[in-house]
Structure 1
């Protein structure tokens, strides 16, 4: 950011000077002058120093990066900034989010800083992330055909969404760009076919390398932080005091026979943005660091009963984000049988009294709500524009959800069980993706089938709950339709209410099917998933397979599976409607040829409307209304 500002100010005839916090190590007038001249010489050459002082204060701009890296404090810190402020008319200073904590220790040293305008670098929402990814994919000019561009953007979006998770990694430009760099094929950081845990490890190693930590020290520091993660996990706030930190350090060095200076180690971890002091104690800088190192420690100590009890406790509370993140990161580190059996045990306890939905002989009541499968319309549009609209909607709904979402402890037990079920599905799916090459085929088959069946047991529970109250639901929708004056005829109003109830139930089933598909969608698991479907050829299993195929660019190249499935479910309105929704979603998000659209829409009886035609019809209707 400061480099961009340097270029911008220079183009406007200002004299910008770049300085790092580490270079600000003296505070006298003469020392500050020398530090500034060294920076001027570095940027413009030795001959530029006299013209710099002659240029006048109003044209000088200081760009001071990482102020928290300076070793100055107290009055020396204040003096240094005061001298700089007298030399430059404008100062742009960057620092870490915990830098202001220094003000509590030495408030008098912050006089100059308190007079400056303060800004915070906000995290990117869904739309901003998408825009950055789209720009990254088009660097150097868009030389790829549309389908290849969409595939690249889709791959990047899925990676970034997976790594960022539910806020465990900050969605800032720095982290975003660091992750995107790992996807460049042939680069030294090419991780595009790696397990998710490798990305977190890369972020950590990258932080250490920036501090010039040698490779020989990486393993020891990672082990130190893993033990520190376990130590911190034993405190309610996940923060420790200075005394606690020193005690841990002493215990670690004694246990491993190491001579490590506490001050040096704590400073290194802080400079690498791994573990630092904030207003309520020492703690890991970002959530992913805490969970990564805690997961590493748990994976390496599975033979102890204390650790196994801790893991079981977490598995029993997967509705709690702290517990679900702990188990998820454990799954990144270990493929041990005890890990997946623990996850599997919890999955099997969810809605254990229900049998999995199959969508063959258990949806007659739902199908009875409509005389035939409701028509669906595909409006031709641009996939990238569609993705932008969806990301905008996600930002709005996520903000509202965070405002309205109650504490999980106050939710009804059925919804707590649902949240836990969905978390278990995600964790088990990620476990399979992480360790596809180490697990035996039979184990992978068992886990995938258990994952599907667990999800569809939960689906049956909620589907039957809604079907039991379907009359109340239909009547409620009828009243809304009548109140809005959308339908005067009572019979037509009832039919419309039944259709909307059918579609509501269909959306719920579709959401479960897509969640299952996305959780295991990986080319490395495709062969095993096919075997599971062949061994259990129920309609809902086959729809999951379609959902997986349609989760990637090019999902409509082979229509034979869709054609066969559509033929087999021709008398099943709910299954047909779900299949059409999956295909519509694919065409909405991925690049498809005109011929592919025509063929699949003809096969599934989906109407096609041209976007331009729809816009003209809308304008005409507005003219008539006026």
Structure 2
């Protein structure tokens, strides 16, 4: 694999008419055909991009660099990656208190020989002169490649199928002064822990603007040792003298130094040049070519340098064993299931892999989220020390896939991992296991290196044993096997399921098992699902998918996941999530009788049955069999079937009823193999909730004309407060839009809070508005939308973790019962609208939307009444708080009470309106929403409609927002709600440029807190 690095330096951009701006096309011409030879290309700039660190100079630099990048990408069809570091010219010395900064620099210089601990506050102060630089850096760098981000040191990693490259980007200019002095710089490399430099790589390149002779003598020497210890190649700038130097120490270690040329010298227009650096990762060698400006063209100066090896026994060099290509292609890179993507023909594992969260397996109900849950990618962070792990996961949780990624990660750390299927381990003896180990090495690596491997210390090997619950050794021999394994090997990873009794192995006092740690593989929460969705949509689109488009796709798929997964209907494991994403991309090609969402469940079930290779004509049989089985279990209130009941009471009845002669064992085994039912202790249950509810719904739908089924459906609809009833009705509406079902739901919904008027958000909320003198100022803080969405997903995961620990009370008041019924009805009626927007007639859709709006506004009126009746309780609570805080002024206390009650009312309103928006939101129902809004000229209805448009429509509804804001400008509660809707919209979407945002926020009188660099450049879209 060949890599090209276009090494620019010292551009000193000052004005838009700088001569180098006019030469950018000549730079492109000089390299464009060369670029065609390479697998990957980097555009590297080692400092002094600007002339004096001013914002307007960075704006010019952004255009200059992006023009080169975009033109080369268009010409070559390859993605150009950008790496930039700051130089002394990239500091704006007017942007700090120079005297204070000089005092800090002098103090650090004077103490540099001592054990001087640099304070983060001092670093921030010294880096104030680079504030605009960091905005520029954030706008142009590829954040996804960054694995460590600090003002003084960024670390990036680029991964390929067979190789990885590490980039260390040192900010030596943090110590620069306006009048740079030779030998006066200081870089606190020891401020950063050694673990940052322990990562293994095929090539490590360090970038710094200043050559080492510009450092203070004592610091320069130790910094040099640090760099050469951790780097294969070091690139610098500053001195405007291009050269390549190889430095060798007495132990035979070698480091390549490449000094950059000046691209623009304001003293001499013709003094301009740069380097082309070629890396051959297969042969582990590199060479440099100087390019200089001569006779109005950039031309090669002299011949290429000689090839130099970068295979130099560095401490971070990977292991030397080569993985077998067949093993790599057939197993290591195989996703484990056949997924089809429209943008790439053959997916490999890393295209779709996201590390799962892991939960420490311990009986400690008091531990919090941070103590219990951690990202699986941190699993193998202890690169030098021993790790002995049990990874416990259910079927389809991704245990084997996780083994593959652990294999790759350990290999990249310089270890030699060996994978075992536990069913092949048939002896507890070391000599037998050693034979199996050597056999697996020959299959997984270059067999010619077998002798070398056999002599490798066991602490450099990693034993990965998958699915140990399938191992056939008797328990006493399993104990002996683990005892042998724990004594002989330091790094052991074992996967098993939750039924495997680890304690039986660990309880033996003779075992050295105390260092084994157990982790449970978690289902994907909101954050991991967001990461998976992002990865899926970027496949084959890395260079073309704009950020706003990606965010829209993220939002759509995330909402789809939330609806399909529901109340844990489907295990949130990658194989199911990827199947949903694949189905979403393909559309609904087959079972058109199912609803919009119903076909996702149908596809999952059909996919499961596909594992047993049933014939297409048999699919209907299995659907009917499972429908009858699910209804049989529901009707008889059975959760677990004994074998006798399954065979004698159900199977025999089914065969008689349908005049079919089918083998019980054959059907039972097929359903087990397809993971639709599971067997344990000679008993059976339907494996997943979505299978159970899907087929009960299917049964009811097929028999809805039956009088008894109608009566049952009425009972279920009237009592959807119970989770099982609500789930059955939810799945029934996936199968049917029969008017009987819809009318039952509508009639029940109309009975809820029928004694309450619809809340209009007009004179009926005067008492709420009177609680506040004026609205507090709301500020929109500019954020990276994708990062914000991930933060919100992380908060949801934490909240759900904590909620599971809160036990629900057995009893609830009549009001809470009715409130829960209201929300369930809103959700189910909304699902019917979304499922059948294209096949329901307008009048029927109108009735459903109207009742959802009506019910939500009656519910809101009820909640406001509850708030009013509870006012005395809140007043007492706040008075107690005021006493604790020594607040004695009655006006202050009254203000505190009013503020609390107003914002509590706002919170309730926000929750109910978003509940409606999430339940019915669909742009294809626009005409129906408009019809309801026309009949009910209420501010509350307008708020619901604006919320729906913000959450589910393409584009920002500027005219609707403008009209509503003018109506509510003196109506505090809806005005505050509207502002929150808008701020939240821009935290979740990135459709509009800065000027458009400014127009909207000016209308709503919302200040924007943003980076001024982003503000000036926001109209320029970045490709991801």
**TM-score (norm. length: structure 2):** 0.52
Equivalent position of 1:436 in the other structure: 837
Task: Report deviation, 1:274.
Answer: 0.7
Q: What's the secondary structure of 2:830's corresponding residue?
A: helix
- Is the CA contact (8 Å cut-off) linking 1:379 and 1:611 kept in structure 2? no
Select which of 326, 332, 345 maps to 2:747: 345
Name the CA distance, whole Å, in 2 between partners of 1:401 and 1:611.
Answer: 37
Name the CA distance, whole Å, in 2 between partners of 1:223 and 1:38.
Answer: 48
Name the CA distance, whole Å, in 2 between partners of 1:320 and 1:55.
Answer: 64
Match runs of 1:52-201 below 5 Å? 94=495, 97=498, 119-140=519-540, 141=542, 143-184=544-585, 195-201=596-602
Equivalent position of 1:619 in the other structure: none
Equivalent position of 1:623 in the other structure: none
- Is the CA contact (8 Å cut-off) linking 1:365 and 1:467 kept in structure 2? no
1:578 counterpart = 2:980: no
1:325 counterpart = 2:727: yes
Equivalent position of 1:525 in the other structure: 925
Task: Report deviation, 1:472.
Answer: 4.6
Task: Report deviation, 1:437.
Answer: 1.7
Equivalent position of 2:626 in the other structure: 225
Select which of 747, 758, 780 maps to 1:356: 758
Change (3 A) 1:206 1:493: same
Name the CA distance, whole Å, in 1 between partners of 2:779 and 2:934.
Answer: 32
Name the CA distance, whole Å, in 1 between partners of 2:835 and 2:902.
Answer: 38
Match runs of 1:504-543 below 5 Å? 504-543=904-943
Select which of 672, 690, 695 maps to 1:293: 695
Match runs of 1:275-290 below 5 Å? 275-278=677-680, 281-290=683-692
Task: Report deviation, 1:150.
Answer: 1.1
- Is the CA contact (8 Å cut-off) linking 2:468 and 2:495 kept in structure 1? yes
1:107-164 deviations in Å (ceiling 9; x for gaps): xxxx9x9x99765322223233333333334445364222112111111211111111
1:505-541 deviations in Å (ceiling 9; x for gaps): 1121121111112211012212211111112221111
1:22-54 deviations in Å (ceiling 9; x for gaps): xx7999x9xx99999998898679x88998997
Select which of 382, 393, 399 maps to 2:801: 399
Task: Report deviation, 1:576.
Answer: 1.3
Change (3 A) 1:345 1:65: farther
Q: What's the secondary structure of 1:524's corresponding residue?
A: helix
Name the CA distance, whole Å, in 1 between partners of 2:591 and 2:692.
Answer: 25
Unaligned runs of 5+ in 1: 104-110, 614-626
Equivalent position of 1:306 in the other structure: 708
Name the CA distance, whole Å, in 2 between partners of 1:49 and 1:62.
Answer: 18
- Is the CA contact (8 Å cut-off) linking 1:37 and 1:49 kept in structure 2? no
Equivalent position of 2:964 in the other structure: 565
1:381 counterpart = 2:780: no
Name the CA distance, whole Å, in 2 between partners of 1:457 and 1:160.
Answer: 30
Task: Report deviation, 1:548.
Answer: 0.4
Change (3 A) 1:598 1:483: farther
Select which of 517, 533, 550 maps to 2:950: 550
Q: What's the secondary structure of 1:282's corresponding residue?
A: strand
Equivalent position of 1:106 in the other structure: none
1:262 counterpart = 2:664: yes
1:573-615 deviations in Å (ceiling 9; x for gaps): 21211111111211121114212221122212223233799xx
Name the CA distance, whole Å, in 1 between partners of 2:466 and 2:699.
Answer: 35
Unaligned runs of 5+ in 2: 1-401, 505-510, 1014-1024
Mean Cα deviation higher: 369-378 or 151-160 = 369-378
Select which of 995, 999, 1016 maps to 1:595: 995
Q: What's the secondary structure of 1:184's corresponding residue?
A: helix
Equivalent position of 1:245 in the other structure: 646
Task: Report deviation, 1:171.
Answer: 1.9
Match runs of 1:433-472 below 5 Å? 433-470=834-871, 472=873
Q: What's the secondary structure of 2:679's corresponding residue?
A: strand
Q: What's the secondary structure of 1:213's corresponding residue?
A: coil
Q: What's the secondary structure of 2:584's corresponding residue?
A: coil
Name the CA distance, whole Å, in 2 between partners of 1:606 and 1:451.
Answer: 32
Change (3 A) 1:25 1:196: farther
Change (3 A) 1:155 1:473: same
Name the CA distance, whole Å, in 2 between partners of 1:215 and 1:440.
Answer: 34
1:427-467 deviations in Å (ceiling 9; x for gaps): 11011111112211100000110111112111111111212
Q: What's the secondary structure of 1:358's corresponding residue?
A: coil
Task: Report deviation, 1:310.
Answer: 2.5
**TM-score (norm. length: structure 1):** 0.83
CA RMSD of aligned residues (A): 4.2
Higher relative contact order (CA 8 A, sep 6+): 1
Change (3 A) 1:215 1:560: same
Aligned residues: 597
- Is the CA contact (8 Å cut-off) linking 1:570 and 1:576 kept in structure 2? yes
Mean Cα deviation higher: 195-204 or 116-125 = 116-125
